[in-house]
Amino acid sequence: MASIIIRSLEDDVKARLKQRAAANLRSMEEEARDILRQAVGATNPRADLGQQIRARFASLGGVTLALPKRGH
């Protein structure tokens, strides 16, 4: 895989990227990769359905369920 360095990125852009990444439960680096994938029209091969569902509903909070006891 390739790497890139982005120089002279405005502080407010970095702050918004950080906020967006946090909202999507991702690192800033993964968020930037996703933005670039979308911008060039590529699909995200790493995001499975579970990750997509989790990201979509993350802002609603979590749920703790009581699991039934297993019988032998």
pLDDT in tens, 27-66: 999 999 999 988 887 565 666 788 888 888 888 887 788 8
Give a yes or no: residue 48 inside a domain.
no
pLDDT score, position 64: 81
Give a yes or no: residue 25 inside a domain.
yes
pLDDT score, position 30: 93
* Long-range residue pairs from 50-55, CB within 8 A, at least 24 positions apart, any chain: 54/25, 55/24, 55/25, 55/26
Give a yes or no: residue 21 inside a domain.
yes
Give a yes or no: residue 61 inside a domain.
no
Give a yes or no: residue 49 inside a domain.
no
pLDDT score, position 21: 95
Give a yes or no: residue 28 inside a domain.
yes
pLDDT score, position 48: 78
Taking the C-alpha atoms of residue 45 and residue 69, their distance in angstroms, rounded to an integer, is 38
Q: What residue numbers bound the domain in which 30 lies?
A: 10-42
Label residues 39-54 b or e (16+ Cβ within 10 Å = b).
Answer: eeeeeeeeeeeeeeee
- The number of distinct structural domains making up the chain is 1
